[in-house]
């Protein structure tokens, strides 16, 4: 690593708390924030970040945290990855913007080639690049509607797809995404999902329930697209029962419905595969990606069957910043890093280290109802052992305890009773063990 790229002062490979949390500098920034940043933007943690490297984040007071959040699953390659920093730096000094639809540039095309190669399925694929996961979902809807000539959109219970008007309409949780923001978009239909821990159904039974719901409530011939997160992210890392996704894909194909895998959270090496759909042996018609593909630079994509992606007339898709050269250069660097540093293997290693530790934790603490996930996308669900009810208070208490001990962990789940782990896959085994020990302490102290 060259000096100019060296992250300033990650002091050791471990956590290091040197002030109260939040420290005085974070408190000052928070006061400025409250005065000027919209109250509509929430703050999970009261700290403000100065710099970060790999799986460590350092706040403005010099407190160093092990990062189990990865900026909600974005920093898969690690913070300030050297190759990414270099690619972005080089691109910034070459050209930062032309608007691809006005005058094109190579990195945009390179990203589309990489996505065609690494999304599931060997058929001819094309992509459009946009700025955010929500924008990718919006565009996938447009493309599917144009391709099918149909209007209706199907989504699953406990799903999450974004914060724009249409995507907020596609989320399961009305609060906080939709409350008071109506009218929300019409033509969106929510159907039961598969969640083995909660419904006890086989994949075939759950698929029959989903399909029957959509056939009765909407009619297969009316549906343009079905959106499915292969592992539901915000919903609490819900891994569907075996055979569920395959049955949905078959049903979509038989009925001319475009099957969209929303891989914004589960995609790009997170689960030990480029895209989580691979674990379920499915080939979606379209895949939406964002977060991890840019390694921290804003970019997102819709990728899929060439004949579907070409449905739009010229000028129907796009936007000023979509596939920005700097963000595109970042994506190319991320794909290179995944290959060069075997990050699919690293994601599997994270799972292989973390899963047994979490299962041990479950044996010790009966409030952990379920341990689930794939690769570096794992979660704990907390359930009151006496009543079987979601234990959101325990979840929150562990999160808060961990923050004060130097570990950043996110919650998830419709009922807020899931702790989800989305660390950079370059996190070390020691850091994983340390973070689990902190959760163990937290649970023992409750």
Side-chain-side CA neighbours of residue 359 (13 Å): 8
Give the binding range for ligand PLZ (CB under 6 A) out of 180-188, 262-270, 420-428, 436-444: 262-270
For residue 235, is the peptide bond before it cis, meaning its omega torsion is within 30 degrees of 0? no
Are the CB atoms for 400 and 392 separated by under 8 Å?
Answer: no
Number of residues this chain uses to bind ligand PLZ (CB under 6 A): 16
Nearer to ligand PLZ by C-beta: 220 or 425? Answer: 425
In terms of DSSP H, where are the helices of 177-324?
196-199, 203-217, 244-254, 306-309
| Among 71, 107, 133, 322, contact with ligand PLZ (rule: CB under 6 A) | 133
- Say how many C-beta atoms besides its own lie within 10 A of residue 127's C-beta: 25
With a CB cutoff of 8 Å and minimum separation 6, the contacts of 236 are: 158, 379, 381, 412, 413, 414, 417, 418, 420
Segment interacting with ligand PLZ (CB under 6 A) among 22-30, 110-118, 258-266, 332-340: 258-266
Q: Which stretch binds ligand PLZ (CB under 6 A): 226-234, 349-357, 382-390, 420-428?
A: 226-234
| Beta carbon of residue 296, minimum distance to ligand PLZ (angstroms, whole number) | 12
- Contact segment (CB under 6 A) with ligand PLZ among 131-139, 211-219, 238-246, 350-358 equals 131-139
Q: How far is the CB of 73 from ligand PLZ (least distance, A)?
A: 7
d(C-alpha 288, C-alpha 276), whole Å: 12
Output the residue with the shortest Cβ distance to ligand PLZ.
133
Tell me which of 54, 59, 138, 234 binds ligand PLZ, using CB under 6 A: 234
Does 48 help bind ligand PLZ (rule: CB under 6 A)?
Answer: no
Query: In angstroms, rounded to a whole number, what is the distance separating the alpha carbons of residues 405 and 399?
Result: 10
* Residue nearer to ligand PLZ on the CB measure, 383 or 418: 418
Select the span of 75-83, 199-207, 229-237, 317-325 touching ligand PLZ (CB under 6 A): 229-237
Which stretch, 89-97, 126-134, 310-318, 325-333, contacts ligand PLZ (CB under 6 A)?
126-134
Structure token digits, residue 154 = 């199907």
CB of 161 to ligand PLZ, least distance (A): 5
Using CB under 6 A as the criterion, what x/- string covers residues 280-319 for binding ligand PLZ?
----------x-----------------------------
Helix axes 244-254, 203-217, angle to 10 degrees: 40
Contact set for ligand PLZ, span 345-384 (CB under 6 A) = none
CB 113 within 8 A of CB 325: no
Residues of this chain, 153-172, that bind ligand PLZ according to CB under 6 A: 160-163
Q: Which among 130, 140, 133, 400 has a CA at the least distance from the CA of 284?
A: 140
Only one of the segments 9-17, 140-148, 260-268, 305-313 lies at the binding site for ligand PLZ (rule: CB under 6 A); that segment is 260-268
CB atoms within 10 A of CB 179: 10
Smallest distance, Å, CB 443 to ligand PLZ?
Answer: 26
CB-wise, 236 or 272, nearer to ligand PLZ?
236
Interface characters, 385-404, with ligand PLZ (x: CB under 6 A): --------------------
Sequence-distant (≥ 6) Cβ neighbours of residue 173 within 8 angstroms: 160, 234, 414
Nearer to ligand PLZ (CB atom), residue 21 or residue 168: 168
Q: Which of 17, 72, 109, 397 binds ligand PLZ (CB under 6 A)?
A: 72
Cα dihedral 234, 435, 54, 68, rounded to 10, equals 10
Give the CA distances from residue 276 to residues 261, 290, 399, 445, in Å, rounded to whole numbers and listed in that order.
Answer: 9, 14, 26, 36
Residue 266 Cβ vs ligand PLZ, minimum distance, rounded to whole Å: 7
Rounded distance, CA 220 to CA 203, Å? 20
Q: Which of 80, 127, 132, 431 binds ligand PLZ (CB under 6 A)?
A: 132
Measured from the Cβ of residue 408, the count of other Cβ atoms closer than 10 Å reads 24
Strands 377-382 and 418-421, by their bridges, are antiparallel
- Which residues would be at the binding site for ligand PLZ (CB under 6 A)? 72, 132-134, 137, 160-163, 229, 233-234, 262, 264-265, 290
């Amino acid at each position: 690593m060259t000096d100019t790229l060296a992250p300033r002062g990650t002091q050791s490979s471990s956590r290091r708390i040197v002030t109260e949390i939040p420290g005085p500098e974070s408190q000052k920034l928070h006061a400025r924030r409250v005065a000027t940043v919209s109250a509509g933007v929430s703050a999970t943690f009261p700290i403000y970040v100065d710099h970060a490297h790999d799986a460590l984040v350092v706040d403005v007071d010099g407190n160093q945290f092990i990062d189990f959040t990865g900026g909600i699953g974005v920093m898969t390659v690690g913070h300030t990855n050297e190759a990414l920093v270099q690619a972005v730096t080089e691109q910034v000094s070459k050209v930062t913007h032309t608007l691809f639809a006005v005058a094109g540039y190579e990195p945009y095309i390179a990203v589309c080639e990489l996505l065609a190669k690494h999304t599931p399925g060997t058929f001819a694929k094309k992509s459009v690049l946009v700025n955010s996961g929500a924008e990718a979902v919006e565009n996938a809807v447009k493309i599917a509607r144009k391709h099918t000539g149909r209007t209706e959109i199907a989504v699953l219970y406990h799903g999450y797809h974004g914060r724009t008007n249409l995507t907020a309409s596609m989320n399961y949780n009305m609060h906080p995404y939709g409350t008071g923001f109506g009218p929300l978009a019409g033509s969106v239909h929510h159907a039961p999902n598969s969640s083995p821990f909660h419904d006890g159904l086989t994949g075939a039974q759950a698929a029959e329930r989903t399909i029957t719901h959509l056939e009765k409530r909407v009619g297969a011939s009316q549906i343009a697209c079905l959106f499915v997160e292969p592992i539901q992210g915000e919903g609490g890392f819900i891994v569907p029962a075996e055979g569920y996704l395959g049955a949905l894909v078959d049903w979509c194909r038989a009925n001319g419905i475009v099957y969209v895998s929303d891989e914004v959270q589960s995609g790009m090496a997170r689960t030990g595969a480029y895209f989580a759909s691979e674990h379920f042996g499915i080939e979606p018609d379209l895949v939406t990606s964002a977060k991890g593909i840019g390694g921290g630079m804003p970019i997102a994509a819709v990728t899929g069957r060439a004949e579907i992606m070409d449905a739009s007339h010229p000028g129907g898709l796009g936007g000023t910043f979509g596939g920005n050269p700097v963000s595109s250069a970042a994506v190319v660097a991320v794909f290179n890093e995944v290959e060069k540093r075997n990050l699919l293997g690293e994601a599997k290693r994270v799972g292989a280290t973390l899963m047994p530790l979490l299962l041990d934790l479950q044996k010790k603490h009966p409030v952990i109802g379920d341990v689930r996930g794939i690769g570096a996308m794992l979660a704990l669900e907390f359930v009151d052992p006496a009543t079987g009810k979601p234990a959101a208070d325990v979840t929150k208490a562990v999160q808060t305890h961990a923050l004060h001990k130097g570990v950043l962990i996110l919650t998830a789940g419709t009922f807020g009773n899931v702790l989800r782990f989305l660390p950079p896959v370059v996190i070390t085994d020691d850091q994983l063990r340390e973070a689990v020990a902190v959760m163990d302490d937290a649970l023992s102290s409750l």
